[in-house]
Amino acid sequence: MTDQQKFAELHPDTLAVRSAVERSQYGENSEALYLTSGYVQTSAASAAARFAGDEDGFTYGRYGNPTVTSFEQRLAGMEGAEACISTASGMSAILMMCMGLLQSGDHVVCSQSMFGSTIKLIGSDLAKFGVQSSFVSQTDIDDWKAAVRPNTKLLFAETPTNPLTEVCDIAALAEIAHKAGALVAVDNCFATPALQKPMAFGADIVMHSGTKFLDGQGRVMAGALCASQKLVTEKFLPVLKSGGMTLAPFNAWVVLKGMETLDIRMRAQSAQALALAQWLLSHPQVDRVHYPGLESHPQHRLALAQQSNLGGAVLSVSIKADSPEHARARAFHVLDSMQVLSLSTNLGDTKTLVAHPASTSHGRLTETQRQAAGVVQGLIRISVGLEHLDDIKNDLLRGLDSLI
Ligand SMILES: *Cc1c(COP(=O)(O)O)cnc(C)c1O
């Protein structure tokens, strides 16, 4: 039985701890970390065949590595994808996707609520190379439909979004895209395959920042695209070979091992996030709580239907204030009063990370782009970790109860 046949019969939980390249002759139980930039070839003819793509085998570190392949196989298995190709970071996965699929004159439709750097990359950097883009409402399907043009090649959404946790209907986007002869890609960083498998709703490409929940302990940068074997081989691998946004084997190994606990972490952290969101709702200084697991969330039902009934581990809260300046000062006060939680712009860690999106992750956007994304000055994002819930609450109360 080949590895692929063996894995095809297993459940995602099993794949999360088992899927990897074959053991070496030493029979290691934990997957080996292959730190090598080159490979010794058995013959000149075999080397030629491998470089030509006629024979399987590793040729050079920029093109592939067994530890990196293990990570890719594992993520593909968990997403229910045919194939996966990894990159040095989440952003370089988006760059690879765009370079592989688009050329000058092509058009992309994105949600205006996407990750700040994604908006910058597609809206500004790629525009320099003639790629057109439209940024539409995350939640209004008619807006997506209206934005599609004859030259639209890609619809790209993130669900839930960072930091407002707005949810979009993946199946509806897939229908619009496919009718227009375009592909639909989903940034699945927030939900992860433990909660949401976009391909089951018709997505063609699932993009990941392995830096977040897949690693889960805030150690390394990583990224990936899951897609059909054809897209990976024909569109993305050539960009990797010439562009060189290769995932380092050590980073691949760290994330590979992190993924073994993804499911239990996502369940535990989602439960903590829901309890924290409910508690924050009742605090007198809190204006709004954005969390898909709350019934007050505008797309609560859709979120639960797409996300295995769980809201995920990230929530955002806006602090009451009289003006944007006041809101910013009050949000800063809550952050600066913390003694236990981390003031950090990362997310997806076992440690609770708290950030002020308007001045950090979304700081490079223009005020108009920031308003469109709903990132107000009083907004605080919390990536809920595994500390005791009472300690998380108490650390937030230090600032919330002493606001002026
Ligand atoms: C962090 C993040 C990215 C970018 O990933 P990096 O690994 O930091 O490059 C993309 N999308 C979302 C939703 C993210 O949170």
CATH code of the domain containing 396: 3.90.1150.10
- What pLDDT sits at residue 154? 98
Are 340 and 269 in the same domain? yes
The protein residue whose alpha carbon is closest to atom 6 in ligand 1 is 90
Give Cβ neighbours of residue 212 (< 8 Å, ≥ 6 apart): 90, 189, 190, 192, 346, 347, 348
The protein residue whose alpha carbon is closest to atom 8 in ligand 1 is 90
* Interval between CA 313 and ligand 1 midpoint (Å): 15
Q: How far is CA 342 from the centre of its chain?
A: 21
Domain count of the fold of the chain: 2
Are 207 and 333 in the same domain? no
Domain boundary among 205, 236, 261: 261
Cα(259)–Cα(239) distance, integer angstroms: 26
Judge if the beta carbon of residue 73 lies within 6 A of ligand 1: no
Contact of 314 with 297, CB cutoff 8 Å: no
Cα(109)–Cα(170) distance, integer angstroms: 14
DSSP reduced 3-state for 184:
strand
Judge if the beta carbon of residue 361 lies within 6 A of ligand 1: no
Are 188 and 145 in the same domain? yes
Are 235 and 151 in the same domain? yes
- Where b means 16+ CB within 10 Å and e means fewer, 331-360 reads bbbbbebbeebbeebebbbbbbbbbbbbee
Residue span of the structural domain in which 166 resides: 3-261
Domain boundary among 205, 240, 261: 261
Judge if the beta carbon of residue 162 lies within 6 A of ligand 1: yes
Best residue for ligand 1 mutational test, from 212, 255, 361, 381 (most atoms within 8 Å of Cβ): 212
Ligand 1 closest atom vs CA 348: 15
Are 359 and 375 in the same domain? yes
Exposed/middle/buried for 297, CB within 10 Å: 0-12, 13-18, 19+? buried
| Residues 281, 284, 290: CA angle, nearest 5 degrees | 30
Dig out the tokens for 14 from the structure: 């099993």
Q: Extract long-range pairs of 292-299: CB within 8 Å, 24+ residues apart.
A: 292/160, 292/165, 292/167, 297/165, 297/167, 298/139, 298/166, 299/139, 299/166, 299/167, 299/168
**pLDDT string in tens for the chain (404-residue length):** 556 667 778 888 999 999 999 999 999 999 999 999 999 999 999 999 998 889 999 999 999 999 999 999 999 999 999 999 999 999 999 999 999 999 999 999 999 888 888 999 999 999 999 999 999 999 999 999 999 999 999 999 999 998 999 999 999 999 999 999 999 999 999 999 999 999 999 999 999 999 999 999 999 999 999 999 999 999 999 999 999 999 999 999 999 999 999 999 999 999 999 999 999 999 999 999 999 999 999 999 999 999 999 999 999 999 999 999 999 999 999 999 999 999 999 999 999 999 999 999 888 778 787 877 788 999 999 999 999 999 999 999 999 999 98
Contact of 358 with 379, CB cutoff 8 Å: yes
The protein residue whose alpha carbon is closest to atom 15 in ligand 1 is 189
pTM above 0.85, yes or no: yes
Are 236 and 275 in the same domain? no
Judge if the beta carbon of residue 161 lies within 6 A of ligand 1: no
* Interval between CA 52 and ligand 1 midpoint (Å): 34
Q: How far is CA 402 from the centre of its chain?
A: 35
Contact of 349 with 392, CB cutoff 8 Å: no
Are 12 and 88 in the same domain? yes
- A 10 A CB-CB count for 37 gives 9
Ligand 1 closest atom vs CA 161: 13
Are 200 and 333 in the same domain? no
The CATH number of the domain where 173 resides is what? 3.40.640.10
Cα(292)–Cα(264) distance, integer angstroms: 19
Are 154 and 24 in the same domain? yes
Domain boundary among 213, 234, 261: 261
Q: What are phi and psi of 371, to 5 degrees?
A: -60, -45
Are 254 and 311 in the same domain? no
Are 130 and 145 in the same domain? yes
Best residue for ligand 1 mutational test, from 87, 94, 110, 117 (most atoms within 8 Å of Cβ): 117
Are 340 and 290 in the same domain? yes
Cα–Cα distance list, 83 to 226, 331, 381 (Å): 6, 43, 33
- What pLDDT sits at residue 3? 63
